[in-house]
Amino acid sequence: MPIEVPQAILDALTRVDMPALPESPAISESITIDSVHLPILRTGVLIIGSGAAGLRAAVEANRAGLEVTVATMSPFGGTSACSGSDKQTLHTAGTSNRGDNFVRLASDIGAGGAMDLDQAYVEAVGSIGAFAGLQYLGLPLPTDRFGAVLRYQTDHDDVGRATSCGPRTSRLMVKVLAEEALRLGIPIRRRCEAVQLIIAADGACLGCIAVDREAGAASNPHGLCVLLAGATVLATGGPGELYRDSVYPRHCYGSLGMAIEAGVAVCNLTESQFGIGTRRQEFPWNLSGTYVQVVPRVFSRDGAGVEREFLMDWYRTPREAASNVFRKGYQWPFHASRMLGFGSSLVDLAIHHESRLGRTVCLDFTRNPTGWTLDQLDDDARSYLANNEALLATPIERLRRMNPLAIELYRMHGSDIAREPLPFNVNNQHMNGGVEVDTWGRSSIPGLYALGEVAGTHGVTRPGGAALNAGQVMGVRVARHLAQQRPQRPEVPLVTVQAAARAALAIARGGQASALTLRDEIQARMSDYAGFICPVGEIAGAKAAAVGLRSRVLASGIAVTPERSAEAFRWRHQALLSEAVLTALDAYVQSGGGSRGARAYCDPSGTKVPEARSVDCAAWRFREERPEHRREKLTLRWHGAFSLTRTPLRGMEDPARIFFEKNWAPYLTGAVYGDGFAH
């Protein structure tokens, strides 16, 4: 008999309360620029961002005896604290049954190409320790009665290395890490947004200028302050505000634009992840796993209220349509090749098409697709439901049986999916590219590290759950590297600080452009020309428009009031980032780049075209990927204009050639920390 899970247990896993953080400590030192008094804080290590990645680095660095300060725009904002899916996934080496093979896991992590081989291996071997640390801190990872963690199969995962605490795995990770940070007494500046990196004449990072709403005073109306650090760590997450169609929570800007403006090398900006989810206008959430494995009815509604089950225009039979809706559960991210042969990404294309016709697309859990019955499912789908004792009459009954938390989650956010349809879309969900780093998280600028989503380590595709794993593994590694370097509070000549602070003050005082108009223009351009359906012929035009917008913004500034001064930086940086992404896309397609990962590059001279039952798919004829592009990363640097280089992937020695005695000395002498950028 299936066990009914009591409501109190469901509540505890969905309504995750976060610990209260104390007020930010007062700052005593200051500098005066044009009669404005800017507080100056000095610290050994400055961690910017308090998502799962940043907090892991903070906790580990503090435990290594370093002085750490966390500065965050919103302590429990960002994707770790606010995003999820039906079972939000953490992907690590398999720990049940016969264990795992790290070389194979590394090859699976980097399978989509454009991922350094050493980085993939680091994430594979580091996953066990990073995972154990979370268990030690009390993350409620489910186990069987023997202690083996329960696992399942997720996107790009043939083995079944995924696990989950429910819809809010990453929020629970943030919770246990924040509790640990509080126990360790790590100061967290709670309303402190980094807006400009401070780079010394010798090219090293000295910290940042921030807008700190708890450091402001009458003599500092813009809230600017100076954070000086022996080492600075970017852990600011992804740029969710870059796209109109986005499943990120609101106010995710990341810091890629800020890093680019400072001259940091960034890579793989062509690579992102897109998939189905509920919209930011309501409650942004991924619709993966059981949400679709229960085969809800998919329909669209036009302005007059007319409903259409449009998937039947695309698939040949109700069985084929239903089985592909089911498969989106573990083939969640869009992939061009899965549009072929009536595969599961044809669902995404159909939704995209329907939305472009001005119709709202919805999932209906109260009814099965019209004309379909449970016996019309392919064997893989049917046996999954049978194994989970979920061959029940309606989608909502099947969902209640397999994952009641998934229902609870929407109820908590105002949608009762047991009664009403759920509007959704195909959205941008993850930035795979970002700051180029070595396997210790060091960027191209000495003294600056990056980890989590802001780091460009994620390759073209990634198994579901690998993003959270990467942030944890790199949190540990960045802290280890810092522990070896032992960064101290910097003694910085005030003249360097003055120049940076003066430049920031000029931006904070505002200019001409409207932030709202800028937002709308940038987001629309990115969703329409750099989305998962990417029209090759229109990328160059979109790039030219982005260059024009960025030059206007840099020249004339953004109109803001003093209390909203951070907006002047946010949209300046998003304008620069949008140009960077379009520059990378343009260079990629100019060199013959074809469809991979999240994007279908549509081109009338492409070699592949999706087929549909009664829809003409000629407009979505697409280019195929060239194999050589899998073996390199596209790296960009800004110095008033973008320069591009193609970097071959880093390789690594055969792990079978690593032996204890041979490799002990490099560990004991610290030589193991030496790879990466030659600083």
The binding site for ligand FAD (CB under 6 A) comprises 48-54, 71-74, 77-80, 83-85, 88-89, 170, 193-194, 235-237, 247-248, 252-255, 277, 285-286, 429-430, 452-453, 464-468, 471
Q: Which is nearer to ligand FAD, 368 or 578 (CB)?
A: 578
419 φψ region: left (φ > 0), alpha (ψ -120 to 50), beta (else): alpha
Q: How far apart are CA 275 and CA 330, in angstroms?
A: 11
372 by DSSP, 3-state: which? coil
Q: How far apart are CA 289 and CA 191, in angstroms?
A: 35
Of 158, 157, 139, 123, give the one whose Cα is nearest residue 149: 139
Q: Which is nearer to ligand FAD, 88 or 368 (CB)?
A: 88
Least distance between ligand FAD and beta carbon 165 (Å): 11
Least distance between ligand FAD and beta carbon 348 (Å): 15
Q: Which is nearer to ligand FAD, 188 or 347 (CB)?
A: 188
Q: Which is nearer to ligand FAD, 291 or 529 (CB)?
A: 291
Pair 336, 599: CB distance under 8 Å: yes
Least distance between ligand FAD and beta carbon 368 (Å): 26
Q: How far apart are CA 448 and CA 198, in angstroms?
A: 10
Q: Which helix (H) or strand (E) holds 164?
A: strand 162-164
Least distance between ligand FAD and beta carbon 670 (Å): 27
Q: Which is nearer to ligand FAD, 121 or 248 (CB)?
A: 248
Q: Which is nearer to ligand FAD, 238 or 606 (CB)?
A: 238
Least distance between ligand FAD and beta carbon 552 (Å): 23
What are the distances in angstroms from CA 586 to CA 264, 554, 581, 593, 637?
A: 20, 22, 9, 9, 15
> Cα-Cα-Cα-Cα dihedral of 351, 353, 357, 358, to 10°?
30
Q: How far apart are CA 508 and CA 637, in angstroms?
A: 25
* Burial degree of 617 (CB within 10 A; 0-12, 13-18, 19+): middle
Least distance between ligand FAD and beta carbon 261 (Å): 12
Of 214, 207, 211, give the one whose Cα is nearest residue 195: 211
Q: How far apart are CA 643 and CA 308, in angstroms?
A: 48
Least distance between ligand FAD and beta carbon 238 (Å): 6
Q: Which is nearer to ligand FAD, 255 or 635 (CB)?
A: 255
Least distance between ligand FAD and beta carbon 475 (Å): 9
Contacting residues for 504 by C-beta, under 8 A, at least 6 apart: 195, 196, 209, 224, 569
Q: Which is nearer to ligand FAD, 359 or 481 (CB)?
A: 481
Q: Which is nearer to ligand FAD, 129 or 674 (CB)?
A: 129
Pair 32, 21: CB distance under 8 Å: no
Least distance between ligand FAD and beta carbon 613 (Å): 31
Q: How far apart are CA 600 and CA 405, in angstroms?
A: 34
Q: Which is nearer to ligand FAD, 235 or 267 (CB)?
A: 235
> Cα-Cα-Cα-Cα dihedral of 620, 625, 626, 629, to 10°?
130
Least distance between ligand FAD and beta carbon 189 (Å): 9
Least distance between ligand FAD and beta carbon 338 (Å): 19
Residue 17: CB atoms within 10 A of its CB come to: 9
Q: Which is nearer to ligand FAD, 24 or 394 (CB)?
A: 24
Of 103, 634, 111, 586, give the one whose Cα is nearest residue 335: 111
